[in-house]
Amino acid sequence: MILVDGQPTDSVDARDRGLAYGDGVFRTLRMHVGQPLWWRDHYAKLADDCAALMLACPDEAVLRAEVCRVAAAGEGVAKIVITRGAGARGYALPPGQAVTRIVQSAPLPAYAAAAAGDDIAVRWCALRLARQPRLAGIKHLNRLENVLARAEWNDPSVVEGLLCDEGGAVIGGVMSNLVIARDGELATPDLSQCGVAGVARARLLRAARRLGVRTRVERLPPAVILAADEVMLCNSVIGVRRVARLDDKTWPPAGWTDILKTALYEEVD
């Protein structure tokens, strides 16, 4: 089921700026027994992303009701897309604050199901992310880099690819954020130049600090990832997963993923 501006439909205006320019933002949420997990964090992030692109963020209660309306029973995924609406041709912002809101549901991807287990195999991607501080961190609709990076492999046993920026710093996965454990601390890449600063990453860092674990946001070269005690990937759909293999490199469990998974879901919403 899809709701566009609250109406059940499966289509949007062909002149929508989301289609013309990728002029909008989105959220992907995990649904559990018909309710969105981590809703407060998701709405706050959506509001921040809308503000960064000068988009009027829809009302929280309206959006939440629509997310619940499209949700199937049981486990699943909901997606919210906010665009700058259908406008005249040209890049200039249209007058007014009209947006299009699209809310839809999808089944849980196979890799996210509990049966998929906690440990995942990943690979390095060749594509280097461009650095654009004006868009960094925002979950916007300009995602061709992600599409090209994901097209680099077909092996279904490889769940995710790791991306570096053009300067060689590791930024994260194609669809997830990266957190490593080393020397009793957690570290995650600085996302001020590129990448998406996801809700799961923010929750995980917050949960770690509550447990008294020091967290660092910094530049992480590939060698630092390879030398880590444990490497984890997280997003709102998969939660947090341990990287058991990165191309030829393997890691035995060091215990961090289990601790953080528990903390991630105990963290107050």
Which listed range, 86-94, 219-227, 240-248, 256-264, lies at the site for a second copy (CB under 8 A)? 86-94
Using rule CB under 8 A, residue 92 touches a second copy:
yes
The residue among 144, 122, 129, 131 whose CA lies nearest residue 238 is 122
Using rule CB under 8 A, residue 268 touches a second copy:
no
CA distance 245 to 15: 44
The residue among 265, 152, 142, 119 whose CA lies nearest residue 196 is 142
Q: How far is the CB of 237 from a second copy (least distance, A)?
A: 9
CB closer to a second copy, 135 vs 226:
135
Using rule CB under 8 A, residue 81 touches a second copy:
yes
Element (H, E) at 199: helix 199-210
**Please, which residues have CB within 8 angstroms of residue 212's CB and are 6 or more apart in sequence?**
none
User: 86: burial class by Cβ within 10 Å (0-12, 13-18, 19+)?
Assistant: middle
Using rule CB under 8 A, residue 7 touches a second copy:
no
The residue among 182, 173, 232 whose CA lies nearest residue 204 is 232
Using rule CB under 8 A, residue 53 touches a second copy:
yes
Pick the binder of a second copy from 90, 96, 184, 212 (CB under 8 A): 90
Using rule CB under 8 A, residue 158 touches a second copy:
no
Using rule CB under 8 A, residue 50 touches a second copy:
no
Under the rule (CB under 8 A), what is the footprint of a second copy? 2, 4, 9-23, 26, 28, 53-54, 77, 79, 81, 83-84, 88-93, 102, 104, 106, 109, 127, 129-132, 134-135, 140-151, 166, 174-175, 194
